[in-house]
Chains A and B, each alone.
Chain A
Amino acid sequence: MKILVCISHVPDTTSKINFTEDDTKFDTNGVQFVINPNDEFGLTRAMWFKEKQGASVDVVTVGGKDTEPTIRKALAIGADTAIRVDTEALEGFQVAKELAKVAKDGGYDLIIAGRESIDYNGGMVPGMLAKLIDANFINTCVSLEVDGDKATAVREIDGGKETLTSSLPLVIGGQKGLVEESDLKIPNMRGIMMARKKPLNVVEPVGANSQASTKKFEKPAPKGDIKMVDADNIDELIDLLHNEAKAI
């Protein structure tokens, strides 16, 4: 089985979110970048397939040279080959189109992406990619098994779960559940050394068009002061929730 894992290079969850250039650009100053958490669950599931069922695992990202440490980390975790499409990731559709080229060229059976990236939270790349390459698509995937050319997946729905089957090729939008938190691997020294020798292929972009563009960023308005209620005065809380917040 040939697996492609799509990796988004995102600010660590604890990053301070600030903007520069008149609030038109994300301020990367002092920000630590990581593999998008949803993608990391998918990557770890891919490693499981590699170990248990035999598979090759390529990882791909769309981005500038600054994203290389992130895909190197994926190599250190165990991926075989990394691909970087050498263009800035501007917007979901543009990224999906760039990935579609890599996906078609590679002839993958399974493409694992994350449900959404934690920076723009677009939630559009996996579905668009699937549609562009005419593959089946399962979103918010929390469990995935492959047997021959048939995949069985569980998807989260509002208030429950759905079990689905699909033929390959298949694209999934993955998240926690594909593997557990405790299954995530911190690359060891040997992995990091090996990753240096693994191929990281830089490919030219197709120059996909964007359909949307960010004009400006804003920060949420500062929060008003909290009202404290005494633990012995629950009636006051109920009164505030009913009459002031109109929440109950």
Chain B
Amino acid sequence: MSILVYTETENGQLKKSAFEVASYAKAVADQLGEKAVAVTINAESTNELANYGIDKVLEVKNDKLAKFSADAYAETLKNAAKQEGSKVVVLSQSANAKYLAPLLAVDLEAGYASNVTELPQTDGGFTVKRTAFTNKAFNQTSIDTDVKIIGLSNNAFGLKENKSELEKIEFEAQVSDENFGINVESIDKNTDKVSIADAEIVVSGGRGLKGPENWGMIEELAEVLGAATACSKPVSDMGWRPHAEHVGQTGKPVASNLYIAIGISGAIQHLAGVSASKTKVVINNDDEAPFFKAADYGIVGDAFEVVPKLIEKLKEFKANNA
């Protein structure tokens, strides 16, 4: 038996979220007195997994898996879980992991809980805490099947360093043409900017910025901080910013370390989607904007004056702390 964890790569490099799910899997393994086994697909090096307590890694190298395929990746993970006799499978909540998880659940006849935020309670049954109602509540979900799949919310558990002896094993994916019913025709990825899902810091702009021509300072602030850019729903509906930047209950969830909201009022649907962020800063010229009730730090002021000053000061700060 073992705890299986899918540690994702991006261009052959393990992602930060991979180390978070590895840390979590190690903690679950310790709790149940089992080994933590990772699976990587076309990773250049898996050495770093030894910093997060992984005992064994199944390294899959397969050209057919060069592009993500939910079905083929789920098939690979199913085969790994079967070989290892895994009773718990841990995944991140990246777009790809969320895509393959339900397929894997059916394959393994496993109960699946997404958006999990804490270690499971395993005395007696197997219960996980997960967010529901878009962060407006939590629910304790009991997973009642023999095999269990956990989708761990981004940034909920953090990285836990833990040195281990890592055994590396080559693993055959055992995928067939049947797993490739969907063709990837093209991928359009912004490689010089961090995505909202992977970002430590997200800088977000709302209708208070008046128009798309004013996003220069948002982009610049994001660049200084190494942050992703996001926006409120009306901003994307009006076409000021791409839909991919829309965050909130009906957009993307944000669970970054730092979320900076500029000219965003803080409507309930917006707050729901971003409240999992650890620290929230609001810049708004209306001291009665609802966001001030949901944030950690606030500045009442005109964004067009505050943001350029903030950029200036952050540049100084970065220069002094480099």
Contact = CB atoms under 8 A, between A and B. Distances in A.
Interface of A: 11, 13-14, 17, 19, 37-38, 92-93, 96, 118-128, 130-132, 136-140, 142, 152, 155-167, 175-177, 180-182, 210-220, 223-224, 226-231, 234-235, 237-238, 240-242, 245, 247-248
29 contacts: A14-B269, A92-B102, A93-B112, A118-B133, A121-B132, A124-B101, A124-B102, A127-B100, A131-B103, A136-B181, A137-B70, A139-B98, A140-B99, A157-B68, A158-B94, A158-B95, A158-B198, A159-B198, A160-B190, A162-B188, A211-B144, A220-B135, A220-B275, A224-B296, A226-B297, A227-B298, A231-B300, A238-B314, A245-B279
B278 to A, nearest CB: 7
Contacts of A127: 70, 99-103, 105-106
A65 B294 CA distance: 37
B306 to A, nearest CB: 5
A226 B187 contact: no
Interface in B267-309: 268-269, 272, 275, 278-279, 281-282, 292-302, 305-306, 309
A99 to B, nearest CB: 12
Contacts of A224: 296
A226 B137 contact: no
B107 interface: yes
Contacts of B113: 212
B187 A162 contact: yes
B299 A231 contact: yes
A49 B127 CA distance: 43
B51 interface: no
Interface residues on B, range: 35 or more
A18 B19 CA distance: 35
Interface of B: 68, 70-71, 94-96, 98-103, 105-107, 110-115, 127, 129, 131-145, 181-191, 193-198, 201, 225, 233, 237, 243-244, 246, 249-251, 257-258, 268-269, 272, 275, 278-279, 281-282, 292-302, 305-306, 309-310, 313-314, 317, 321
10 nearest interchain CB pairs? A127-B102, A159-B195, A231-B301, A160-B189, A211-B111, A131-B106, A247-B258, A158-B195, A139-B99, A158-B197
B137 A217 contact: yes
A126 B279 CA distance: 33
Contact of B96 (A19, A128, A157): A157
Contacts of A226: 282, 292-293, 295-298
Most chain A beta-carbon neighbours within 10 Å: one of B182, B183, B292, B305: B182
B154 to A, nearest CB: 10
A234 B309 contact: yes
A77 B320 CA distance: 59
B71 A137 contact: yes
Q: Dominant SS at the A interface?
A: mixed
Contacts of A123: 98, 101-102, 114
Contact of B299 (A139, A214, A228): A228
A83 B143 CA distance: 29
Nearest to A127: B102
B13 to A, nearest CB: 14
A152 B182 CA distance: 10
A164 B70 CA distance: 12
B298 A228 contact: yes
Contacts of A231: 299-302, 305-306
Contacts of B309: 234
Question: Which of B133, B268, B281, B321 has the most C-beta atoms of chain A within 10 angstroms of its own C-beta?
Answer: B133
B77 to A, nearest CB: 13
A142 B269 CA distance: 20
A152 B184 CA distance: 10
